[in-house]
Structure formats: C-alpha cells, structure tokens
Amino acid sequence: MQQGYFPSDIYTTQVKTKPSLWDKLITNSRLYFTVKYAMVVFRTRKEAIRKVYDTVAWHKSSYDIFRFIENTGGRFNITGMENILKSEKPVLFISNHMSTLETMIFPCIIAPRREVTFVVKESLVKHPLFKDVMLSRNPIVVGRSDPRKDLEAVMNGGAELLAKGFSIVIFPQSTRSLEFKPEEFNSIGVKLAKKAGVPVVPVAIKTDFWGNGKLIKELGPLDRKKTIHIKFGEPFSITGNGKEENSRIISFIQSSLAEWNK
C-alpha cells in the first residue's frame, strides 16, 4: 500500500482566485456534477459486472468523484491521515454519517493505504445502480430492521474480514443525519473491535456540502458555502467493556463538529 492521492497527512483544496467563465457557467453547476457523477456510476457498474472492478479501480473512481466535487466548487479540509497507517493491525474506522459524500470519498483516502471495506445497508446491495459495485467490495450487509441479526452479521463477518487483513468502515448511526445525536450512535463498532482485538480509528466528518435529493437521495443539492471536513483520530485499543471507548469516539466527533461550526 502507498500514500496514494494525498502524499501529505493534511489536504486543503486550493481555491481558484479568479474562476474562468467556463467554471462559472459549466463546472460550478450542479448539472455538471450530476452528469459526471452518473458517468462514474455507470462505468463502475459495467466494470463490476465484468468482474474487473478491483481495489485500484475502486479508489480511482472515488478520486474521480473527489475531483468532480472540487471542480464544482467543493472545498476539502482533510486532517489526520497519518493515523490511517499508525497501527500495524487492521482497524475499525468508526465515523458519523452525514451524506452520500463520505461513502464515495473514503475509498480514495483509505484504500490506497489499507485494504478496506464497509458495513452497508441491505438496500445498497439491492439498488439497481450500486449493487454490483458494492458486492464487488465484499461488504458486511445489515438490514437495519433486526438489531440482533445485524449484530450477528457484523460480529461474525467483521471478525472474519479483520482476520484476513481487511480494515472496516462502520457508521454506527442508523441513517444519515445532518445533526449528530449521541444517543443514536451505537457501540457495534467498538464491540467488533474488542472481539477481533484490533484498534479503532475515530473519524469525524462534516459533509453537508452534499445534500439529499428529493427524488434520488444520492443526487441532492450542493452547498458551496460549506467546507467539507474529514478528520481521522489517533487509533486506540478497547480495554474495557467498550462504554468508555465509545464515549471517547462520540466526544471526538462532537468536539470536531463544534470546531467546524464556529
């Protein structure tokens, strides 16, 4: 594995001081982004169906979307990327969940450095556009309707993948939410980390730049006034029953959001 597209541990989008007329009329438009995003979705779907959508293709397509976001006026502030590789063991990346953006962008940040997959909702692996791509990434699938069954799927499937050297991204919130509610941030990721004996890397994100669409959730409005923040925390191990560690992750996310919302 390598540093990939971000050789430094910090990345900040360099904003153009004088956007060209082309930028103002075309690349900064929501239509431009929607068309480019759709092109990536259809291309990757074809590759996944042909069984040629591997890890390299995955993080390359993720970076394509990253660049489209910047081209359409999105501004990234990514910090703590040195923490992705601090542990020699696979890790659990435990993050809050705000929009479609993080699921699309995490691969180009993490996958060049570590083999990684996601815990995903069953609806994604049944979606006509996304199912082939998602299934090619060997995800852990949860239904969100039966907590006991989901816990079993994550604990058993997750432990197996971690033992094979895969790191895992998990969003403990039941659904995407612009407001972070600690009471909805369950401890399933911490429980898996304890069982598998691997560290967790807390991740805080603020991705309300990309809103939810009314007809198609993944194609919502873009708010260029809002900076996209992603922060990876220091990895740490689970030593107790997990309550203290889960609270530590929640505090990390809350303090990061408070800083970004000033």
Q: DSSP for 4-53? A: TT--SS-EE----SS--HHIIIIITSHHHHHHHHHHHHHHHHHHHHTT--
* pLDDT at site 23: 61
Residue 243 CB contacts under 8 Å (≥ 6 apart), including other chains: 187
Q: Which among 76, 208, 61, 28 is positioned nearest to 133, based on CA atoms? A: 61
pLDDT digits (tens, 9 = 90+) for 131-144: 999 999 999 999 87
pLDDT digits (tens, 9 = 90+) for 203-236: 999 999 988 766 566 667 788 899 999 999 999 9
pLDDT digits (tens, 9 = 90+) for 41-66: 999 999 999 999 999 999 999 999 99
Checking if the pLDDT of 180 tops 80, the result is: yes
Q: Which residue has the tokens 């009329």?
A: 25
Checking if the pLDDT of 22 tops 60, the result is: no
Measure the CA–CA gap between 63 and 69, rounded to whole angstroms.
10
Checking if the pLDDT of 27 tops 80, the result is: no
Q: Which among 28, 2, 101, 104 is positioned nearest to 63, based on CA atoms? A: 104
Checking if the pLDDT of 25 tops 60, the result is: no
